[in-house]
Amino acid sequence: MLNNIRYKFKLFLFGATCLTTALVSCQKEKGLTEDPYAGGKKPLDLTFVSKAIDPDVVNAGDVLSVKVKGLNKYINDFKVYVNEIEAEVLTASTNDTTLTFKVPLTASTGSMWITSQGQSFFGPIVKVGGKLSVDASWKVINGATNTTGISTIFDIESLPGGNFFVGGAFNDFELKGTEKLPIGGIAQILGDGTYSTSGVSFGKGAGGAGKMIYSITRIPTGGQAGKYIIGGSFTAFNSTRTNRQTLSNVARLNTNGSLDSLILRDVINPKPQETYKNGDTISAFNAGVDGMVRKTFVFNEQVYIVGNFNYYRRMYLPNSSYDEKVYDYTRMRQMVRVNMDGTMDSTFHYNKSTRQSAAAAGGVILDAMMQADGKLILVGTFSAFNGVPANRIVRLNLDGSVDNSFNVGSGANSDIISIRYNATTNKIVIGGTFTSFNGKTASGVNLLNADGSNVTTFNAQAITGGITNFVGQLNNGKIIVSGSFNKYGDYLRQGFMVLEANGQLAVGYNNTGGFQGNIYDMVENTTSTGSQVILVGDILRFNSTLPHNLLRLNFSN
């Protein structure tokens, strides 16, 4: 009896399940018969016939014709855009099958499309040529890479023979490094971008700490002329042995790129049975700091070290052994000036009564430059320097005190990320997150005179969609601006643009497409037709190319 009841109950459940399934199926079937697009606008019978532009590359201002179908119905109600910039339609030569328009002067490479009655119809890509182009002869293939982290290039230093040193966070370059011999944060390239080890001996490069080189500075004159000061985040150069990691984020390299070192005799040796420890090899430049070095400068045979550190430190040789190093520390916030042997210059940014530096910046130093007279200009997130109000920018006298003659007034109302000076134009350009500078509206970029005052003829438009993080002025006055923004005023500029010295977009130089990444440094070289500009940084994409953190652009006059 019980088994019979169970059987009937299971039969009931089976029947209920089948009924439910049938009802759901019927509902789904009914739902599928309904038009999900009911009530929408009927698509316009307008199409592009042309799949490409002829010629392949055009210039701003050129007149183009493309084949279309069905345009007559909307001849008085349509617009044409090239990469979001409206184009002028030449109505006299436009009809049902042909659309003729003029490439906008401010257009850049991108898609073209027609809009009519709230609908858009995309056509071919318009490749806009102009006075700015990616240099196809640049021979960087894989560039800077890193098997364990970032591969950013932070600095590029021109060499007398036309080659360059580049410094950064990479541990490989052009895939020439190995696990046993990595290319640690420094490499040499020829004038055409080719990776070269000729005449240099970096060994394993920077090691320890962050394994990064932020700054490379060539010593121009004096007894150490031709050598290099490097700064960054590292504790060793050309060594992975723990007891050889004795550097402190700054070092001097010989002319061939090897560590400038000296041999000590009669060193303290707690293990006399290990006779080789009776001597030692150490850095000849006995100076360092306890934090990251952002910039190094050389003036009058002295080295300026700028960064976000708290202490200068120097190896105390009488008490140091082969295995254990002893250091003397002096509190020096963010700046220190040292002699060529590494000894600290106590006449710069130092109070002898307190035996430490002044307060320095009340924030982070993000960038710095040195004028021809040796004065430093620092920018960043601070609002005071040495207790003196200084909104994100300050110039220092040769003793490290604030130079009150620097005419920046109230300064910037938000962070300054980038600063560069051009000796040819005698102008300073700054970039960052600010929207005003010394009472003047300035959206992320501003041009200053050498005394810090605003250039009144420079009037920038609003930068939106992101921020500016690099600026640099060319010798002809034009200004390179890059960042994460997507518009300049009403114009589409995807992270990169070229401005005139008055702040307007430079006609013919904003033809390139999108930019992705960060630029940290640039080098300009004059050519017979204009100039070539090398950009380095964390450059991921530019105008549909993959630069691998090094990019060379051609600027035509």
CB 444 within 8 A of CB 495: no
Q: What is the DSSP string of 218-253?
A: E--SSTTTT-EEEEEE-SEES---GGG----SEEEE
- Closest-CA residue to 215 (of 298, 140, 283, 286): 298
pLDDT at 145: 96
The token pair at 407 is: 């005419």
In this chain, the answer to whether the domains covering 47-129 and 360-511 adopt an identical fold is no
User: How confident is the model at residue 227, as a pLDDT?
Assistant: 98
For position 135, what pLDDT does the model report? 94
- State pTM to two decimals: 0.85
pLDDT tens by residue, 408-427: 999 999 999 999 999 999 99
User: 55: cis peptide before it, omega within 30°?
Assistant: yes
**3-state secondary structure at position 535:** strand
Give the distance from CA 230 to its chain's centroid.
19
What tokens appear for 209 in the block? Answer: 């700490």
Kindly list the domain boundaries of the chain, sorted by start residue: 47-129, 201-357, 360-511
Q: Quote the pLDDT of residue 36.
A: 55
The DSSP code sequence of 23-69 is HHHHHHHHHHTS-TTTTSPPPPS-EE---S-SSSEEETT-EEEEEEE
Helix (H, G, I), strand (E, B) or coil at 91: helix
Residue with tokens 């300064």: 411
**Residues whose CB falls within 8 Å of the CB of residue 486, separated by 6 or more in sequence, listed in order:** 464, 465, 466, 492, 493, 494, 495
Which residues are bridge partners to 430 per DSSP?
A: 419, 446
CB-count exposure of residue 153 (10 Å: 0-12, 13-18, 19+): buried
Residues ≥6 apart with Cβ < 8 Å to 504: none
Q: Which two tokens stand for residue 526?
A: 């004059």
Rg (CA), the chain: 31
Separation between Cα atoms, residue 303 and residue 509, nearest integer Å: 38
Please give the helix or strand (H or E) that residue 101 lies within, else none: strand 98-102
The conformation of residue 269, written as its DSSP 8-state character, comes to -
Write the CA distances from 60 to 27, 57, 428, integer angstroms.
58, 10, 30
CATH architecture of 47-129: Sandwich (2.60)
Looking at residue 244, its pLDDT comes to 80
- In CATH, the number for domain 360-511 is 2.130.10.10
Residues 6+ apart with CB under 8 A from 244: 236
- Who contacts 173 (Cβ-Cβ below 8 Å, separation ≥6)? 142, 143, 144, 145, 183, 187, 195
Least Cα distance to 514 among 490, 487, 549, 478 occurs for 487
Instruction: Quote helix, strand, coil % in the chain, to nearest 5.
Output: 10, 40, 50
| pLDDT < 70 positions in the chain | 1-41
Residue-level pLDDT at 24: 44
**C-alpha closest to that of 247 among 271, 211, 278:** 211
DSSP category for residue 461: P
Residues found in the chain: 557
